[in-house]
Chain A
């Protein structure tokens, strides 16, 4: 245990503590360009106040919440439906399809986004070209649509992964339960509703919590799409805002405060969701 704990402390606990410490730090500089020296001091909650009063950051939090409500719901429903279909008795080639649906998860997010951006850029995209030919003018990179273009990439990448979690849980359902249900005259739909869904509930909860956390951490997709969509600002998502505060503006205090706020938000949202799902089970 000791080697593990030491590594854990060095690589996990220390960076977290360092970030929290940074978020309470203010830098004061002497001279026009900080040439005469710079000193770090305790800032209280000043960095948090600045992060929260920044309209762009607040808007980005709202943006990912909206994104999460829509995208996580769509993805979990799709993953559940796929899992139930693949685990149903009449499914053909379940192994092949499981792999096929899981495959997008194996493609790194940055590469996937570059691939998708070719389908999103007007003038390059064959899909948009076909749509334009039949009179549908769609611009997936416009301010009003680009969020859903990102949602599309994320759904494509993670539905198969979440499906696999649910499939694993379905596989652990004892055969006797199915037999008992059939003896009682339940059809496939009834089995899905009354037997499978209640029993995969833990997997659904797990997948949803991970998805909520992942949504708050949206970074790679907007960062890569920024190159082709002027609608994506430097604070389009909370993580992008923290990244730009740190490495574009060199404002490490505010960046740390933003990062801590993202972590807290993920913690609170996950806790609320778990509370809600547990309450219904007592």
Chain B
């Protein structure tokens, strides 16, 4: 809140003597010739300045750089800045810096994603002075592409190494036939559960979503203060992840046009599943995962399990007294519904890239660093040890620390048992849209209304959200239509 002093407000100023006429409307003398000329000059100066700024046009509409940039000349020391919200990233960079004196990378911490980091990167890019590398979530990559904020990595030979990454993740950084970001981590989903809670009702980890519903009923029926999981209306990304697993494609590129399809059979199956669970009160809607209340509930057994990305392991290890009480199973599948022909074994929840920006003067060196960080065992181990990244993106190395059994998770080698196969059971035809963030917010609002009685079912909420998502694409100047 700024009380700026430059606001032109015609108020009697408090420091004038009180002998002034009472009315604040002072008759003003007619302007002199000089004043008129001056005002005209001011107008012209203003127009000139406007012309100078108008040359910039709307941020993000300038054409991206044309020819690929050359490598730095020998003997030149390249200094790169990497903006990211990973903790202790500088320690990872230092491992690289020690071995590559001619390419020195400096990590700059920014707030995570939409809580300030993206705003910072976007405004820096709009001003033409962004970082060299930026941490950008896979689902946000298209939004940066739309703003011409990314370097085309295909032009720098990234196509030759993309094969060493998990195929599902690689498919999401390939937009419009070219590569736009270096996969940095991901989160194949799994089923984290408290062994006690399932044993109490004599259940095994459910292998299909149909079985999951049965287990949910058993847990809630056994004790009304217990739920199988929580449903977070404010963050529909888990829902989208499960819809992806079922075979949904919300954003389909067709030629030059986006086709928005948020109510297809696969999405309907997921919506029906959650509607049943919500209507029977089987899901806790008050405690979003990883909130303070959720940790208490997960610690006491009031919440029995969680479907989340592999990165949730570190968070679950924060539940008090949870040591030895948790295990991980593969996420339930849609095998019981043969009509879902595109369904796969797992899906991603979250994941980020190290993207090289269009303002980077040394994209080749930046790409070399990013590739080392994400595929070289030394880089991956440093990323896990110092920054605690999610699932490592390289298909042939999951990190030394993740090959061991985990004491917390009941001595289970859950990474090799559950997440390594899950990372290979991914859709390769899911594309995020340049308007993903708005789409997620629109769905979140619709789901909130679903919980408060605004819509009867999740499918109704999605059907109401779809036209808004279509409009959001159109507002961005994109060609778009609804599938149905």
User: In the complex, what distance in Å separates the CA atom of A281 from the CA atom of B12?
Assistant: 13
| B142 contacts A by Cβ under 8 Å | yes
B292 and A250 contact, CB distance less than 8 A = no
Query: Which residues of B in the span 256-297 have a Cβ within 8 Å of any Cβ on A?
Result: 256-258, 292
A29 and B477 contact, CB distance less than 8 A = yes
| A157 contacts B by Cβ under 8 Å | yes
Q: Give which listed residue, B2, B24, B57, B475, contacts A251 with CB less than 8 A.
A: B475
| B46 contacts A by Cβ under 8 Å | yes
Q: Give which listed residue, A26, A249, A282, contacts B437 with CB less than 8 A.
A: A249
B38 and A5 contact, CB distance less than 8 A = yes
Chain A: minimal CB distance from B441 (Å):
7
Given A9-B46, A206-B14, A248-B437: A35 and B145 interface contact (C-beta under 8 Å): yes
User: In the complex, what distance in Å separates the CA atom of A173 from the CA atom of B176?
Assistant: 73
User: In the complex, what distance in Å separates the CA atom of A15 from the CA atom of B54?
Assistant: 10
| B77 contacts A by Cβ under 8 Å | no
B9 and A209 contact, CB distance less than 8 A = yes
Given A21-B54, A34-B434, A249-B437: A172 and B175 interface contact (C-beta under 8 Å): no
Interface segment, one of B112-120, B153-161, B351-359, B457-465: B112-120
Interface segment, one of A96-104, A128-136, A179-187, A196-204: A196-204
A276 CB contacts on chain B under 8 angstroms: none
B143 and A250 contact, CB distance less than 8 A = yes
| A38 contacts B by Cβ under 8 Å | yes
A31 CB contacts on chain B under 8 angstroms: 176, 256
A18 CB contacts on chain B under 8 angstroms: 50, 53-54
User: In the complex, what distance in Å separates the CA atom of A213 from the CA atom of B9?
Assistant: 10
B477 and A34 contact, CB distance less than 8 A = yes
User: In the complex, what distance in Å separates the CA atom of A165 from the CA atom of B146?
Assistant: 49
B18 CB contacts on chain A under 8 angstroms: 172-174, 199
| A270 contacts B by Cβ under 8 Å | yes
B59 CB contacts on chain A under 8 angstroms: 250, 252
B1 and A32 contact, CB distance less than 8 A = no
| A278 contacts B by Cβ under 8 Å | yes
B58 and A29 contact, CB distance less than 8 A = no
| B320 contacts A by Cβ under 8 Å | no
| B36 contacts A by Cβ under 8 Å | no
Q: Give which listed residue, A221, A230, A248, A270, contacts B1 with CB less than 8 A.
A: A221
B175 and A33 contact, CB distance less than 8 A = yes
A247 and B434 contact, CB distance less than 8 A = no
Q: Give which listed residue, B3, B23, B147, B477, contacts A158 with CB less than 8 A.
A: B3
A215 CB contacts on chain B under 8 angstroms: 1
A221 CB contacts on chain B under 8 angstroms: 1
Chain A: minimal CB distance from B50 (Å):
5
Q: Give which listed residue, B2, B114, B475, B478, contacts A217 with CB less than 8 A.
A: B2
B49 CB contacts on chain A under 8 angstroms: 9-10, 13-14, 17
Query: Which residues of A in the span 94-130 have a Cβ within 8 Å of any Cβ on B?
Result: 109, 123
B61 and A33 contact, CB distance less than 8 A = no
Chain B: minimal CB distance from A281 (Å):
6
Given A15-B53, A29-B477: A40 and B2 interface contact (C-beta under 8 Å): no
Nearest opposing residue in chain B for A32, CB measure? B253
B11 and A202 contact, CB distance less than 8 A = yes
B61 and A27 contact, CB distance less than 8 A = yes
User: In the complex, what distance in Å separates the CA atom of A254 from the CA atom of B475?
Assistant: 10
User: In the complex, what distance in Å separates the CA atom of A182 from the CA atom of B290?
Assistant: 68
User: In the complex, what distance in Å separates the CA atom of A109 from the CA atom of B257?
Assistant: 45
A218 CB contacts on chain B under 8 angstroms: 1
A27 and B7 contact, CB distance less than 8 A = no
B142 and A33 contact, CB distance less than 8 A = yes
A250 CB contacts on chain B under 8 angstroms: 59-60, 122, 143, 146-147
| A48 contacts B by Cβ under 8 Å | no
A246 CB contacts on chain B under 8 angstroms: 123
B46 and A14 contact, CB distance less than 8 A = yes
| A234 contacts B by Cβ under 8 Å | yes
Q: Give which listed residue, A9, A36, A123, A278, contacts B292 with CB less than 8 A.
A: A123
B63 CB contacts on chain A under 8 angstroms: 37
User: In the complex, what distance in Å separates the CA atom of A220 from the CA atom of B3?
Assistant: 13
User: In the complex, what distance in Å separates the CA atom of A218 from the CA atom of B38?
Assistant: 35
A33 CB contacts on chain B under 8 angstroms: 142, 145-146, 175-176, 434
Given A203-B14, A247-B122: A6 and B478 interface contact (C-beta under 8 Å): no
User: In the complex, what distance in Å separates the CA atom of A226 from the CA atom of B57?
Assistant: 32
Q: Give which listed residue, B15, B122, B475, B478, contacts A168 with CB less than 8 A.
A: B15
Nearest opposing residue in chain B for A162, CB measure? B3
User: In the complex, what distance in Å separates the CA atom of A271 from the CA atom of B59?
Assistant: 34
Can you offer 19 A-B residue contacts whose CB atoms are under 8 A?
A: A5-B45, A6-B45, A9-B45, A9-B48, A9-B49, A14-B49, A17-B50, A21-B50, A27-B61, A34-B477, A168-B15, A202-B11, A202-B16, A203-B14, A213-B9, A247-B118, A249-B437, A252-B59, A278-B25
Extra pairs beyond A13-B49, A169-B15 (16, CB < 8 Å): A26-B477, A33-B176, A34-B148, A38-B60, A38-B477, A50-B475, A173-B18, A202-B11, A202-B14, A209-B9, A213-B4, A217-B2, A234-B441, A248-B437, A250-B122, A252-B60
**Chain A residues with a Cβ under 8 A of chain B:** 1, 5-6, 8-10, 12-15, 17-18, 21-22, 25-40, 50, 109, 123, 154, 157-158, 161, 165-166, 168-169, 172-174, 199-200, 202-203, 205-206, 209-211, 213-215, 217-221, 226-227, 230, 234, 243-244, 246-254, 270, 274, 278, 281-282
The 3 closest A-B pairs by CB, nearest first: A14-B49, A247-B119, A203-B14
